Amino acid sequence: MVTEISTHDSTLRILRDDYINNTLPDAVNNTGGSYKVSARNEFTFYGCDMEATLVGVLDNTSRESVISRCATTCSESGQQAIYDADAKAGKLSKFCNGIGCCAAPIAGDSMPTRMHFTRIQVQQPINTSIQQPPPAVPISAYIAEEGWTEAVLGRKMPISELWLGYPVVLRWAVKQGLPAVAAAVGSKICPGDVAGRLCKSEFSDCRRENPSGYTCHCKSGYDGNPYITGGCQDINECELPEVKGACFGECKNLAGSYECRCPRGTHGNHTLPNGCVKSITCLSIGIGIGSGASLIVLVAISIFMAHKLKHRRKVMLKRKFFKQNRGQLLQQLVSQQADIAERMIITVDELAKATNNFDKARELGGGGHGIVYKGILSDLHVVAIKKSKIAVQKEIDEFINEVAILSQINHRNVVKLLGCCLETEVPLLVYEFISNGTLYHHLHVDEPRSISWAIRLRIATEIAIALAYLHSSVLVPVIHRDIKSSNILLDDTLTSKVSDFGSSRYIPTDRTGLTTRVQGTIGYLDPMYFYTGRLTEKSDVYSYGVILVELLTRKKPFSYLSSKGDGLVAHFVSLLVEGNLSELLDPQVVEEGGEEVHEVAMLAASCIKLGGEDRPTMRQVEHVLEGLHATKTYGKDNMIVGTNEENCISMMKQTNEGQSTEETSRSYTMEREFVDSARYPR
């Protein structure tokens, strides 16, 4: 049943009454070529100690990929946790929070095709009284409008509405009577005849949604129905709250935009309260002029006062933005270098000149925390300038966090912070310019061969050295929290630089970790940190282990799925235990790496163990990789652990024969501890 149709964002809201039973469904019905799932939905899953994955097709591609994923845990008895909203009122901020139930956003403009579920092996506490495995718990999953599940569990929805069905928001496109014209994948351009026949309003644009579907949208500054003549009407921006809060002068509405300026007879800054001041008129100047000398003096005084007033307004505006950008907090965070906010300041005029007024052609790319521009300073230094996306407190806090961390770090494998700018509404960071892109773009190319194994091994060593430095060599240890190949920059010599410290955290030396809101990238995220929210330096070790797997296989951790539905890490460990790792390895690595490949694979396996206490430290990882380099330089006889490891691997293969996958994984973990005890210094 359709309850709402929107022409503004081309969506429709439907109520579906085909509730999914508590059984494992084989697939999710595809909504058809003219409809896609909107990002306003979420994937909800009920079950115990399971990971649920929703697979589908993104945009105009035909290849399946992961579009949503979440995981659940349960009580020690294995029973599904059921919450009573009346009994728990005021004690839980979210009902479907991962204990018995989880919810995750869905990639927008996707078409779900199937879902699958993987059992998560949760280690029982020591001295537990449970002797038998927990009973099986029925599971169920469905796609519904974001917030609907929370409304149901929180008893915020009348029971009469619940029986009508569960809502789903779909993206629609018009295809009846319009030609299906071939176009490049991802192209949003409509053929001219389609735009003229479909979009009737003068101030509207046409957009291709798929090979045979199109939508119309009002242009910027207009709103209404673009499918009818005269449907898109001009918006009076002067009446919008955000404009009223930014224009303290005279606002004039224009077609598709607006103009704000000081009223006639005044001048100044119309973006500040009382920023427009009365102009000095010729008549007022004329009063008091008794002679030519008096006129000169008065003009000189007027110029001086105007210059002083302009300077005062500029200083006040800088102070306003400095306070708004949490400059005082920044000074507190770097109290050992209290003058950081003055020594590292670069003016906004200098940065505007360096980037040709932040020209779009100067954009190098965008990440989770802002847009990066290439600039050339007045001293001819080439720099990278990161500008926060929006002026919200979360972005400002992450900006301050990155300045506070990078201002106290000086390492050849960590991107260098040159300065910052607090004079603008959105804060700016200035880094050394790294010219050769990211490790991700060098590794995942369309050609059959990528960067050589020798370079991959050197890059892995440099990343390990940088992380070991952050964890154990700085005054207050730093956990990066978002280690991934797209955050590893490469210079002209392919030397690696760890970047993007917006989500990093300090860990005081007297603490082993801290509990935080989970933040990171799917595929690289430490599962124990995801389940518990407790962040330690071993979370970075797990993410680093995933990068090692990525270097060995040239597979993308966030989208890879095996034929059995396993992610990249799970499939890697399974094949390593079975002795069939060559099926997953990059053929170039097998050809060039020799015995080093197996050494690095074993190191990666130790880094991605489920228990953080079972993983090595980054300093230990650094020593292992430097040992590999020493082996290549001085010969294998100088390696102490070579013979022990070969014997251990042989013993592991004999022990694993005839065992189940679960038993083999446990055996693999125990036997690797023997190798680790020889490899990693205590």
* Amino acid letter, 604: A
What type of residue sits at position 62?
A: S
Spell out a b/e string for 308-341, using b for 16 or more CB atoms within 10 Å of the CB, else e: eeeeeeeeebbeebbebbbbeebbebbeeeeebb
CA distance 306 to 246: 24
Sort 660 into a burial class: Cβ within 10 Å, 0-12 / 13-18 / 19+.
exposed
Closest to 203 (Cα-Cα) out of 228, 236, 235, 232 = 232
CB 603 within 8 A of CB 596: no
User: Which of 471, 461, 543 lies closest to 496 in space, CA to CA?
Assistant: 461
**Dist. CA 296–CA 17, nearest whole Å:** 85
355 vs 376: CA distance, rounded Å: 7
Question: Sign (positive/negative) of CA torsion 72, 76, 80, 82?
Answer: negative
Phi, psi (degrees; rounded to nearest 5) at 192: -60, -40
Residues 6+ apart with CB under 8 A from 88: none
In whole angstroms, give the CA distance from residue 106 to residue 102.
Answer: 13
Tell me how far the alpha carbon of residue 539 is from its chain's centroid: 17
Report d(CA 640, CA 190) in Å as an integer.
66
> CB of 111 within 8 A of CB of 14?
no
Residues 554/586, Cβ–Cβ less than 8 Å:
yes
| Beta-carbon contacts of residue 359 (< 8 Å; ≥ 6 apart) | none
Residue 409 · residue 473 · CB < 8 Å: no
Residues counted in the chain: 682
DSSP letter, residue 460? H
- CB neighbour list of residue 165: distance below 8 Å, 6 or more residues apart: 1, 15, 16, 17, 19
* Distance (Å, whole) CA 394 – CA 396: 5
Name the pairing type of β-strands 11-16 and 2-6. Answer: antiparallel
Tokens (6 digits) for 585: 């390895």
Please say whether the beta carbons of 363 and 371 come within 8 A: yes
Q: Which letter does DSSP use for residue 33 in this model? A: T
Contact 482, 419 (CB under 8 A): no
Catalytic residue among 482, 500, 566, 586: 482
Task: Give the contacts of 376 (CB within 8 A, at least 6 positions apart).
Answer: 354, 382, 383
Structure tokens at 152: 């149901």
DSSP 8-state symbol, 561? -
Task: List all residues 6 or more positions away from 510 whose beta carbon is below 8 Å from its beta carbon.
Answer: none
Decide: helix, strand or coil at residue 6.
Answer: strand
Residue 590 phi/psi, 5° resolution? -60, -40
Helix (H) or strand (E) holding 419: strand 417-421
Q: Which is nearest to 577 in space by CA: 506, 656, 489?
A: 656
Active site residue 482: yes
* 233, 223 Cβ separation under 8 angstroms: yes
**Which residues carry out catalysis?**
482
